[in-house]
Structure 1
Amino acid sequence: MKKQLIYYPIREITCLLTGFLVLVAVTQSNGQTKVQIKGDKFFINGQATYSGQAWKGHTIEGLLMNARLVQGVFDDLNPETVDRWKYPDTGKWDADRNTDEFVANMSQWKAHGMLSFTINLQGGSPEGYSKNQPWHNSAFTAKGELRGAYMTRLKKILDEADRLEMVPILGLFYFGQDERLEDEKAVINAVDNAVNWLHNHKYKNVLIEINNECNVRYSHKILQPERVHELILRAKAIQKEGYRYYVSTSYGGKFIPLPNVVKAADFILLHGNGVTEPEKIVEMVNQTKAVEGYQKMPILFNEDDHFDFDKDFNNLIASISSYASWGYFDFRKKGEGFEEGYQSVPVDWSISSARKKGFFNLLKEISGY
């Protein structure tokens, strides 16, 4: 069969190309990831997360399974302690390498069904748990201004999360580092600057956690349980083009949120640290729903250092059995190798250890990915 060549006038070709470019532009614009909360469910780009998925009789649809990966933008501005975080292969710390390796592994986490992660502008303990924190890890200056290098690293992570349709939980403050801000005015300034930065970059896939464990050793009263709701309301009130961020805060392990936070927050953050019996996880969820001011909203564990992923019932399974999202928290224990843990610095961000594989393999099964 003889092929027939079709010739178009230049004007028509130009119109076709213009139409193609317009189509590409619309596709790119509509491709921006957006998180929504409807009742007690999370939605990404208009669709409930894990749509239609159930596991062993437990509904997964609308949950936001996650991990505590707070050191993604970590750095140490204290020259006396920075050598603690040397990479084993180079013998030195490298903040850009840390973020680049974080970004390089995000698609693997998503492929196992992890849709969210907590990342903090003041990190977490790079030793797992620690009482004293001589290191200086803060994206904020003493007056609450943003440090450019930190925000450049954060942008890399949020851009990739946007591309992958993931929903980061951005924590602003961490106890042990909050005293780096000189006064309450600086704390308020930091909240305003961080939220406005998110707005200016037009992210719509980010949830905000004002501070990690507000009831643990904070220097500034406005970051403590009695007043932290003021910052939740302040962050919610910052709107641009009709859009605002969903905001909450968290408490230490086993602690049930107080009414002032429950009334102000858009979603509830719980921590399972110290909860050694999975049944107690279910109790925490039920107790949270009984707090004064609770309305139907998502309940989300974003920190739990218990594993037992090979058992029939563990904290993760207990959480989803009560229709609450769950977050994996793992740090390198004494004597363990570089591949262990996601909070201890330097971090191996790959799915490298037996614990990491246990979590991600179970998550993949539960999520149906």
Structure 2
Amino acid sequence: MKNQLIYPSIRKTTCLLIGFLVVVCISQSYGQTKVQIKGEKFFINGQPTYAGQEWKGHTIEGLLMNARLVQGVFDDLNPETVDRWKYPDTGKWDANRNTDEFVANMAHWKAHGMLSFTINLQGGSPEGYSKVQPWHNSAFTASGELRPAYMARLEKILDEAERLEMVPILGLFYFGQDHRLENEVAVTKAVDNAINWLHDHKYKNVLIEINNECNVRYTHKILQPERIHELIVRAKSIERNGFRYYVSTSYGGGFIPLPNVVKAADFILIHGNGVAEPEKIVEMVAQTKSVEGYQKMPIIFNEDDHFDFDKDFNNLIASVSTYASWGYFDFRKKGEAFEEGYQSVPVDWSISSERKKGFFNLLKEITGY
């Protein structure tokens, strides 16, 4: 007789009780889900994403459709602002609940064809857009060390992504929080620590976004457009057993990547915020491909706050028409209910609002899921 005992505190370890005397523990291999880039296409476990899929004459195979879900490991270390994020049902904020509810919904997102999401170790504005950010949300200490509580929450998400064969885009820094690191040495140490942590856990399904919108209000010069390629190169250089992570960074809405990033990055991240006309999305992709140093590589919109999912032509469809992946960005607008938005904290991670349903229904149709 065999009784299988699974200990959730020991990652991917299964113990078998054989008879009454012998316990055999088998440690399963890490890194079972692997992402690869070949030309303009993404591959997961050796197969192109959305293999063979076409939609209204557009090739979908090889794309990486995604959403901006940066608050998956969010917390607020500032006691003066933490009450802003209290849940409506309990009247208090709970970082572990936030991550657990994120993980509980991942399979639902995947079932609609969403293979990727952006998550960030310094989050994003929990208000959607913010002029000032007094809250303290950072997985890094001032000196660039990793905070264990943040990384434990991240591990829950990445483990589930690995199980579901999803490809997270892990952002490291966010403007409004990068000043939490005391100097440039701390920033580079934070990059090293984050990449080495991923290697230690043997994840091979993660893409790296050094920082969100490098051309927007960063304190440290190495995180600004003129020098951000230095950190891209640095992260790429950290290899283990011949494996390294694919690395890039993003720019603000409507901004065309600069040559130093295009030459250094493995894939291109652009944003559609502020781009109200779908035709402009098409132009952005064309302009990106004409930047000095561009060679065939994936182009991903991983942030766009335009919807119109019921229309024949919208930013999502425009992106697909140019063979660029697209990412849904939604936040709770003033006066809206709890179920709206994926960036506003506290977050309802379910597919609950009409905007969310509009995105996921169209995504399911396009991807053939």
Shorter chain as denominator, the TM-score bin is over 0.9
Cα separation, 2, equivalents of 1:271 and 1:25: 44
Shift in Å, 1:31: 7.7
> In structure 1, what is the equivalent of residue 79 of structure 2?
79
Shift in Å, 1:29: 3.9
**More helix per residue:** 1
Cα separation, 1, equivalents of 2:30 and 2:249: 30
Structure 1's consecutive aligned runs of 4 or more residues displaced over 2 angstroms after TM superposition are: 28-31
Cα separation, 1, equivalents of 2:183 and 2:307: 39
CA contact (8 A) 2:31 2:204 kept: no
Q: For 1:119, what is the secondary structure of its paired residue?
A: strand
Q: Structure 1 length normalisation: TM-score?
A: 0.92
The answer to whether structure 1 residue 70 and structure 2 residue 78 are counterparts is no
> In structure 2, what is the equivalent of residue 131 of structure 1?
131
> In structure 2, what is the equivalent of residue 186 of structure 1?
186
> In structure 1, what is the equivalent of residue 161 of structure 2?
161
Cα separation, 1, equivalents of 2:31 and 2:296: 29
Report the CA distance shift for 1:225/1:202 in structure 2 as closer, same or farther (over 3 A): same
> In structure 1, what is the equivalent of residue 275 of structure 2?
275
Shift in Å, 1:30: 8.7
Shift in Å, 1:25: 7.3
> In structure 2, what is the equivalent of residue 53 of structure 1?
53
**More strand per residue:** 2
What are the superposed Cα offsets for residues 11-65 of structure 1, whole Å, 9 maximum, x if unpaired?
Answer: xxxxxx9xxxxxx979x54981000000000000000000000000000000000
CA contact (8 A) 2:31 2:203 kept: no
What are the superposed Cα offsets for residues 74-99 of structure 1, whole Å, 9 maximum, x if unpaired?
Answer: 00000000000000000000000000
Cα separation, 2, equivalents of 1:240 and 1:334: 47
Q: Structure 2 length normalisation: TM-score?
A: 0.92
Flag structure 1 segments of 5+ consecutive residues without an equivalent: 1-16, 18-23
What are the superposed Cα offsets for residues 102-152 of structure 1, whole Å, 9 maximum, x if unpaired?
Answer: 000000000000000000000000000001000000000000000000000
Q: For 2:280, what is the secondary structure of its paired residue?
A: helix
> In structure 2, what is the equivalent of residue 5 of structure 1?
none
Shift in Å, 1:310: 0.1
The answer to whether structure 1 residue 246 and structure 2 residue 246 are counterparts is yes
What are the superposed Cα offsets for residues 225-253 of structure 1, whole Å, 9 maximum, x if unpaired?
Answer: 00000000000000001100000000000
CA contact (8 A) 2:269 2:302 kept: yes
> In structure 1, what is the equivalent of residue 235 of structure 2?
235
Shift in Å, 1:189: 0.3
Aligned length: 346
Flag structure 2 segments of 5+ consecutive residues without an equivalent: 1-17, 19-24
Cα separation, 2, equivalents of 1:31 and 1:337: 39
What are the superposed Cα offsets for residues 339-367 of structure 1, whole Å, 9 maximum, x if unpaired?
Answer: 00000000000000000000000000000
> In structure 2, what is the equivalent of residue 89 of structure 1?
89
Question: Which amino acid is 1:47 matched to?
Answer: Q
RMSD: 1.3
Cα separation, 2, equivalents of 1:237 and 1:162: 23
